Chain A
Amino acid sequence: NAGVMQNPRHLVRRRGQEARLRCSPMKGHSHVYWYRQLPEEGLKFMVYLQKENIIDESGMPKERFSAEFPKEGPSILRIQQVVRGDSAAYFCASSPDPAGKSEQYFGPGTRLTVT
């Protein structure tokens, strides 16, 4: 089991472009979480998904951000029309059960830089 995979590891986008961040959970895990870490801050919950369903997106900005976890393929965090303030490390975690019931396994993160 290769663990949670995230790609790309580093992503540079100009203001106004779109950023697509991918997360492949561990085999057998159907619960995926996305977190954002701004400089000098802790991890902030963004969204929790199960296969084909968004369960909780209360931590995600209402505009420009969206997430999906299709039946086949990785989970995608999409940021449209990126701004400088979106520059951050984005982490994905997966678990076989909902948060709190079992351990979350983290990916290495994607570092997004908006120029």
Chain B
Amino acid sequence: AQRVTQPEKLLSVFKGAPVELKCNYSYSGSPELFWYVQYSRQRLQLLLRHISRESIKGFTADLNKGETSFHLKKPFAQEEDSAMYYCALSGSGNQFYFGTGTSLTVIP
């Protein structure tokens, strides 16, 4: 069964501090992993996907197949990073699996 786990429901960090949002997955194949973000009063939108290896808004995420993780990291958090973050997985089928989300608050 495919599963995406985000162990932290809430995460608070101070502005300028590093931030890491955890995501673990279980999938018996080669998944594609994504991070989606929902800012206050906005729609869910793609932040980044592992296949593109991009850094978006200072965020990066590395797929670690050994640890089955896809943690989202940023070295210096900004207030505008406060949002709900969802890790998602797409496998060989048509389904798209989302985690339960982590609400990030960056304290000024």
Contact = CB atoms under 8 A, between A and B. Distances in A.
Interface string B20-39: 00000000000010000000
Interface residues of A, number: 26
A24 B35 CA distance: 24
Interface residues on B, range: 20 to 34
Contact of A42 (B49, B93, B94, B101): B101
B95 to A, nearest CB: 5
A103 to B, nearest CB: 5
Interface in B51-90: 86, 90
A43 B101 CA distance: 9
A77 B99 CA distance: 23
Interface of B: 4, 6, 32, 43-46, 49, 86, 90-91, 93-101
Interface of A: 3-4, 33, 35, 40-45, 48, 55-56, 58-59, 91, 93, 98-100, 103-108
A92 to B, nearest CB: 11
Contact of A104 (B96, B97, B100): B96
Contact of B100 (A42, A55, A105, A107): A42
